[in-house]
């Protein structure tokens, strides 16, 4: 399997997308007694995987390499959005859902975790 091959069918992507969302919410919001490291970085990895699934779902005709690069750019953009502070965005961030989706603090490490997860998803799901 190469990075030029196509992503899996849309139904498979949708199931993985929903699985990432559910696992991320469970990992971050339900007290499972897991170490902070697992909840923090596991949630970030699932976010990166979710972004890959979203991009692959939206542009399934593109090669996996293109999808991976696009997903990495989207992940970096969403992380960089944390650097932007306007009254409207800060108001949204004060809500539980806004805080969960937009976050508060920019971290280069998050971009690294997102990128690693996107590459893993691209390689593993490309084999389905």
Question: pLDDT 10s per residue in the chain (128 long)?
Answer: 555 566 788 999 999 999 999 999 999 889 999 999 999 999 999 999 999 999 999 998 899 999 999 999 999 999 999 999 999 989 999 998 888 778 888 999 999 999 999 999 999 886 54
pTM: 0.86
Q: Match 């949630």 to its residue by tokens.
A: 43
Confirm whether 41 is domain-assigned: yes
Range of the domain at 57: 10-125
Confirm whether 99 is domain-assigned: yes
Confirm whether 46 is domain-assigned: yes
Tally the domains of the chain: 1
Confirm whether 1 is domain-assigned: no
Confirm whether 83 is domain-assigned: yes
Cα(105)–Cα(13) distance, integer angstroms: 29
Confirm whether 29 is domain-assigned: yes
């Amino acid at each position: 399997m190469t990075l030029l091959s196509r992503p899996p069918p849309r139904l498979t992507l949708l199931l993985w997308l929903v699985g990432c969302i559910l696992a991320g919410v469970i990992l971050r919001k339900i007290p499972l007694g897991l170490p902070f490291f697992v909840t923090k970085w596991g949630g970030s990895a699932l976010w990166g995987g979710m972004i890959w699934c979203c991009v692959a779902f939206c542009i399934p005709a593109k090669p996996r390499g293109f999808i991976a690069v696009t997903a990495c750019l989207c992940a970096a953009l969403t992380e960089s959005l944390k650097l932007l502070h306007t009254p409207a965005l800060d108001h949204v961030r004060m809500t539980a859902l806004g805080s969960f989706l937009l976050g508060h603090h920019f971290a280069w490490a998050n971009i690294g975790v997102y990128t690693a997860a996107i590459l893993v998803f691209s390689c593993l799901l490309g084999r389905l």
